[in-house]
Amino acid sequence: MTSDFQVLLPRRQGPGLCSTALVSYLIALQNELVYCVDKHLGEETSFKVSPADLTDLHVIQYDLERDLLPLILSNCQYSMKQGKETLHEYDLAKIQQQILSRFLQGRPIITLNGIPTLVNRHDRIHEIILKDMRGKIGQVPLPSQALSTLVGELKSYNEVCEALSTVEVALGFLAVTGGEPHMQLGSYLEEVLQMGDQTAPHILTALGRYYLKHCLALWQLLTSLKSENMLWLKRVRHLLKFLEEHRLLTGFFNKSSADSILLEMHEFLILVLKGPRYSLLKCTLVAYMERKNLDIPPDVEEFFPEEINLSQYIEAWKFAVALKRERSQR
């Protein structure tokens, strides 16, 4: 097998679409058999079940050697005449009836809606879950000094990824159960989630000084750091094509609120932006922040360029990351 392992994991897109298509085909095949049985018996099956609720008792299944062959052989009679080969006589009506009763009757129609598919944990941390998290535990931004301290402690791409994975696990639980805002994140990870042995000590130390009220800010920072690291590891430097837009963005990203807006831009990019749009980037980003009940920095209102469209969002973010990196290296 040279195919990617993802082919086996049912998804709504990419290689896993093959597995989803196979499940759809098997559902259609069972339904066709159920309809044939109904037609043969003059009945109509009203029992329906969704793919997510299926059990072994719902599906048509059999093993050739364990189930079918013994059934057929038990309804076969042998006769032998001198000088001739053995004759096999099968009771086809009885075989048909037993197959119907054992494997086909009572099976439900399986609906095609709601086929379970694999979803990455990253894909599940979407706007709705983040909103639930804010409803469970009041969230506050990280202090500027804390931002730079954490960035300095996570020195490699792998460390950023491990820290992000740890925070995402905590978010997944907190969005459901809630928690005490002033509880230290390190204590929550070690005492409540029992993750002390599964997490590198320096990652626990780095995250341990923050509180549950900082979880969303940590997630926002770490996802942005991960993307920035990927950008530079791949040596991707796609900048905006128009010099005028270079100049406009450079002017804004030299302002004091640039780093916080860059985090908001990245969050919007991974959670909301689905593809090129032709509305204005500034209006869309401001509206997104207002939906989160965030205060819009005066720098954004006054200096963020009006001329850039959403179709240039990704390139604008990459350009801003390049400016940030160059500024930090001076």
The answer, as to whether pTM is greater than 0.85, is no
Number of other CB atoms surrounding residue 40 within 10 Å: 11
Element (H, E) at 48: strand 48-49
Domain boundaries, the chain: 5-110, 121-233, 243-328
DSSP assignment letter at 84: S
Q: Where are the alpha helices (DSSP H) in the chain?
A: 17-41, 69-73, 92-99, 121-124, 127-136, 144-153, 157-177, 185-187, 201-208, 215-233, 243-252, 258-271, 281-291, 298-303, 313-328
- The residues near 245 (Cβ < 8 Å, ≥ 6 apart) are 305, 307, 308, 312, 316
Per-residue model confidence as pLDDT tens for the chain (330 residues) = 455 667 777 776 677 788 888 888 899 999 999 999 888 888 887 788 888 788 888 889 888 888 888 888 888 887 766 666 777 788 899 999 989 888 888 888 998 876 766 555 555 556 677 778 888 898 888 887 888 888 888 878 888 888 988 998 888 888 888 889 999 999 999 998 888 888 888 899 999 989 999 999 999 899 888 888 777 665 444 444 444 556 666 767 666 667 777 788 888 877 777 544 556 778 888 888 888 878 888 888 888 888 777 777 777 777 777 777 777 666
Ramachandran region, residue 83 (left: φ > 0; alpha: ψ -120 to 50; beta: rest): left
Distance CA(297)–CA(261), nearest Å, equals 9
In contact, 230 and 122? CB cutoff 8 Å: no
